[in-house]
Amino acid sequence: MKAWIRIAMLVTLIVCGTIASSAQEPKPAQAGPGAGTPAADDNMTPYRKLAADTLQAFKAHDMPAAKKKAKELEVAWDSREKALQKKSPDLWGQIDKCMDAFIKPVQDKSPDPAKVQTAYDTFIAKLQLAVKGDAEPKR
């Protein structure tokens, strides 16, 4: 009887460990809190993709790739979002500030992973505001 109990406990521990580890793995469909479920191709998709690529390289400790993707994100945002800047300068400024807050620690010598993740989550949430703004009917 003791053998059966030990086997049952071992199986339970394995199952719980598997569930716990899979809960911690990032899911490809989850860009982060606040990202929602964006349309198949909304106007903020390229920036979410570049930010996700930057974060992924950062988490993989591939700092040259993370810095390169961060620079690509900054250049893409600054050069392609002139229309949003004119239409909603306040929102553009908020997003730009959050993007800078995400990019800056990635470029530091020894960035804090928690700060990078928090800045990423905030940036993604701000991008979603621009999508919602485009989806609202004009008055």
Report mean pLDDT in 10-residue bins for the chain, 139 residues.
64 54 43 44 87 96 94 92 88 94 90 94 93 54
Question: Alpha-carbon distance 124 to 48, whole Å?
Answer: 7
Q: How many CB atoms lie within 10 A of CB 99?
A: 24
Residue 9: the pLDDT is: 59
Confidence (pLDDT) at 110: 85
pLDDT of the residue at 120: 96
In angstroms, rounded to a whole number, what is the distance separating the alpha carbons of residues 108 and 91? 27
pLDDT of residue 109: 85
Orientation angle between helical segments 89-107 and 63-80, nearest 10 degrees: 160
